[in-house]
A and B are shown apart, each in its own frame.
Chain A
């Protein structure tokens, strides 16, 4: 049974015809080509598939499309076009936060979610803010440093 689901994706109206139980993650990657959103664990543990739904960070592997009707979804492809997104991405690059890169879209979404509610977090708060995101390369230190760098450089953006 398929249904038409309408929502906003990165500021544009989109309409998808699919099973209401299909995961938002699969629709983003397969139907809409937003492959910046990654799948790793598929059970909400790793944060690689994080996006913003109405401004709040969520893991798309756990969201059925029926729950997306009328929502505003922001993926890394949308965030990177904003001033905040550019600031974060430059800080991640300059701070050496990226190794294999697989977790980074989710990390950047988590960083945006954190800074939106707390523009000047402490290191401890940054670690708490990205605690739902796993990275197997960096050991996290450079990611934490880069988020702090973005927080300093982006004074007033958040």
Chain B
């Protein structure tokens, strides 16, 4: 009888199982256990072999390394939301992912590798230029989250690889203003209907030196486009208003929502307008609501 589940005792065994059996990791179980459940008293059945990895300490821990924040793939949303090392938009997104019971289970690794266009954590992570460290029996490589997220439920993860950690580079100088908003139905356990994470940096002369924006649940993949962002970079903050219509049209062009497209497009437009117009007024507080 072929084994359908494994409980590796260390990373070496996990990587070997991944290579030899193709077993996929399961950590929090909040997506996979529900997707493959078969009802009361019946053991969930997976279409591929699985390995339970929640017990492996190698996937745990949030650390500061060379100015970059390293989050182990097995860190839960709760661990992320309470960590002062983690940048605000990522903590905010983690804190809004369902109820406490879900946040105690769901991991960043699952949220990233599941590659749902509606996933919450990849939205601020993409905005922050996060990288991923992937391991296999052949070695370790890093890849940008942007290159990793290929399409809906599709990633660049090879069949012999495991996600080890998510690395968030330092932002220097720090963003002047930040925005994160998730629109869902029931606050506990709502899947995002739409989310937007944005940030702007304004220097002492009032020039915009950086601007970034990422959208979740607004297309087949988390959306971000550097060329569109650059429309607002290098201009005086006071010129935002006149650039706004062209920018909003261009940003609209990177969205491709299938369901309720008018709603998703107009809500995104209104959030960006609100964020940027508020930033122009230069409020004292860096987090715009």
With contacts A43-B37, A64-B52, A67-B55 taken as known, whether A23 is within 8 angstroms of B44 at the C-beta atoms is yes
Interface residues in B199-230 by Cβ distance below 8 A to A read none
How distant is B24 from chain A, measured CB to nearest CB, in Å?
12
Residues in A whose Cβ lies below 8 Å from that of B189: 44-45, 132
A9 on the interface (CB 8 Å rule)? Answer: no
* Given A57-B101, A62-B105: 11 more A-B contacts, CB < 8 Å: A1-B1, A20-B5, A44-B34, A47-B101, A64-B52, A66-B7, A67-B27, A67-B29, A67-B52, A67-B54, A129-B100
- Inter-chain contact A21/B5, CB cutoff 8 Å: yes
Q: How large is the interface on B (under 10, 10 to 19, 20 to 34, 35 or more residues)?
A: 35 or more
Binding site for A on B (CB under 8 A): 1, 3-5, 7, 26-30, 33-34, 37, 39-44, 46, 50, 52, 54-55, 78, 98-102, 104-105, 187-189
CB pair B104 A58 closer than 8 Å: yes
Q: Are B5 and A57 in contact (CB under 8 A)?
A: no
Q: A: which residues have CB within 8 A of B?
A: 1, 3, 19-23, 26, 30, 39, 42-45, 47, 50, 53, 56-59, 61-64, 66-67, 69-70, 110, 113, 129, 131-133
Q: At the interface, is chain B mostly helix, strand, loop or mixed?
A: loop
Q: Give the chain A neighbours of B7 by CB distance below 8 A.
A: 3, 20, 66, 69
Chain A's closest residue to B100 (CB) is A57
**Number of interchain pairs (Cβ within 8 Å):** 99
Other-chain contact of B52, A30, A39, A66 (Cβ < 8 Å): A66
